[in-house]
Amino acid sequence: MTSLADHLDKGASLGRDEPCLTLDDTSLTYGEALDLSCAVARALHRSGVQPGDKVGILSANDAVAYVCVFGIARRGAVWCPINPRNEADENRDLLDLMDCSCLIFQSRFAPLVERIVAALPTLTLLVCLDAELDIAVSFENWLAAAAADPIGPALAAPPDDIAVIMGTSGTTGRPKGVMLTARNFEVRSAMTLWGYPFEGRPVFLAISPLTHATGMFCLPMLSLGAQIVVMPKADLTVFLRLIERHRVTHSFLPPTLIYMLLQHEGLAAADLSSLQCIIYGSAPISTTRLEEALTTIGPVMGQVYGQSESPNMTMLSPRDHFDTDGTVARSRLTSAGRPGPLTTLAIMDGQGRLLDRGERGEIVVRGPGVSPGYYKSPEATAEASRFGWHHTGDIGYLDEEGFLFIVDRAKDMIITGGFNVYSVEVEQALMTHPAVRDCAVVGMPDDKWGERVTAVVVLQPGTEATTAEMIEYMKRRIGSVKAPKEIVVWSDLPRSLMNKVLKTDVRARMTAAG
């Protein structure tokens, strides 16, 4: 494959009249999705978008918005997924960093677009998917204007051309753009098809954001001619109903949704017999809840460990969750699985020495699935690729069977509900509160969220602020995902002789306090 559009084209070759993307009671067939992607490519061409230009999509889960991804690829442009849950400033910074010249968006996000567009001089083309707006051309009129233009097959771009730039925040809170090539996605698709069970034509239920892992898992599904059932928002009652209605075979869920599903009143009565694999990942999972899922949902759980920079580094297939006698392999449930055949994974010390089985160190990886680096950030690229390996920032070890166990994170990153939150970014926002003198943010274990963002604050002398008020302040400033779910007030923070906050001591004291 040389383009993301090849995944759609492969699926269409298996049957143009088969359902491709289904939203509510409406389905696009593979032929309709392919034709629509060509129309998007024509419109991009007429609008002056050149191969290699950056095109952002700002949308909740939506079938037409997802088809635009393949139109962007067919034009040879670069897809820049924009998370609608981000605050306006963060999305402005990402669009600026990525040099986006075009933004395709839903009308519900028009107020956000209006706030940021004036600060983005390179953003010259705005297209609204579902409304007539003063600030943008409507999607329908945009396509119609280019309807008569000729369009050839998908551009035969070299497989190492950049296909996607994924926005991610660095530990300083500044955004970075992870560059991914068509070859990266080809490898990811191959790894997915190798690592999990597939029988017949899949039906994939997209409940999580298509801007994240779910959208990437759709690509190998499409190459098998799968039906992608799109959910605009996460609703587990609807999720269970759609599994029965469409005989869903696959889905991707972060642990938080799995925990909520296990507690759902409709789970016991739901018909889940069509399921072949529920892929889970993006955050640590409780082994107690995982074992419950293997019994309640079924022996269909399959883990993935990866990053934007290197997806699908290891996988724990459904069969790996069980011993040869059919009993649950409890000791393996804390594992992230084993590397696939297209990935080389190792454990490295700080001097670049590869460690033996059982020794703990940083998890490093190399292979054709690894990102070539960060957009316009050679320093960050060089730092992440020291000694010729991609450095994950995670600490772990490999057992004698080659299973990976993640024991810690070298960076102060918090994974809550499947989303990455960086403590420094939260601390910077919290320090803008007029009553806060000092603070430290850590991740604490949480049965629902995997980790909860927890803040310890030292107040300014003579000031008062309730924890509830500070939490609401943070939600307004950086959004509910990154805002602390718990804030406690201390008189001082533990510090080293170098005056650095000892976050290990903070966590220990928080744990002791219960």
Predicted local confidence at residue 499, as pLDDT: 52
Check whether residue 402 and residue 420 sit in a common domain. no
Residue 314 resides in a domain: no
Q: If you average pLDDT over residues 61-74, what whole number do you get?
A: 96
Does residue 220 carry a pLDDT above 50? Answer: yes
Looking at per-residue pLDDT, the higher value among 337 and 90 belongs to: 337
Query: pLDDT band at 410, cuts 50/70/90?
Result: low
Any idea what the CATH number is for the domain that residue 395 is in?
Answer: 2.30.38.10
Does residue 287 carry a pLDDT above 50? Answer: yes
Tokens matching residue 68: 């635009």
The position carrying tokens 């003198």 is 437
Check whether residue 433 and residue 398 sit in a common domain. no
Check whether residue 396 and residue 460 sit in a common domain. no
Check whether residue 350 and residue 449 sit in a common domain. no
CA distances from 449 to 284, 287, 444, 501 (A): 9, 14, 10, 25
Does residue 431 carry a pLDDT above 50? Answer: yes
Check whether residue 69 and residue 186 sit in a common domain. yes
Backbone dihedral region for residue 222 (phi beyond 0: left; psi -120 to 50: alpha; all else: beta): alpha
Any idea what the CATH number is for the domain that residue 448 is in?
Answer: 3.30.300.30
Domain end (from 192, 213, 233): 233
Check whether residue 447 and residue 375 sit in a common domain. no
Any idea what the CATH number is for the domain that residue 198 is in?
Answer: 3.40.50.12780
CB contact at 8 A, 162 and 187: no
Residue 390 resides in a domain: yes
Check whether residue 351 and residue 206 sit in a common domain. no
Residue 387 resides in a domain: yes
Query: pLDDT band at 496, cuts 50/70/90?
Result: low
Query: pLDDT band at 212, cuts 50/70/90?
Result: confident
Residue 187 resides in a domain: yes
CB contact at 8 A, 155 and 133: no
Predicted local confidence at residue 498, as pLDDT: 45
Predicted local confidence at residue 160, as pLDDT: 79
Query: pLDDT band at 170, cuts 50/70/90?
Result: very low
Count of structural domains within the chain: 3
For the range 418-421, what are the long-range contacts, defined as Cβ-Cβ under 8 Å and sequence gap of 24 or more? 418/208, 418/212, 418/213, 418/254, 418/255, 418/256, 418/257, 418/281, 418/282, 418/283, 418/450, 419/282, 419/481, 420/168, 420/169, 421/453, 421/481, 421/482
Check whether residue 375 and residue 492 sit in a common domain. no
Predicted local confidence at residue 172, as pLDDT: 41
Residue 273's CB: how many other CB atoms inside 10 A? 9
Check whether residue 108 and residue 213 sit in a common domain. yes
Does residue 249 carry a pLDDT above 70? Answer: yes
| β-bridge partners, 442 | 454
Predicted local confidence at residue 502, as pLDDT: 83
Residue 362 resides in a domain: yes
Its domain, for residue 398, covers: 343-409
Q: In what order do the strands lie in the sheet with 344-348?
A: 344-348, 361-366, 390-398, 404-409
Residue 261 resides in a domain: no
Predicted local confidence at residue 288, as pLDDT: 80
Residue 216 resides in a domain: yes
CA–CA–CA angle 232, 290, 329 (5° rounding): 140
Alpha-helical regions (H) of 76-205: 88-97, 110-116, 139-145, 182-195
Q: What is the pTM of this model?
A: 0.82
Does residue 158 carry a pLDDT above 80? Answer: no
Residue 31 resides in a domain: yes
For the chain, the average pLDDT equals: 91
Check whether residue 417 and residue 389 sit in a common domain. no
Check whether residue 59 and residue 85 sit in a common domain. yes
Check whether residue 431 and residue 452 sit in a common domain. yes
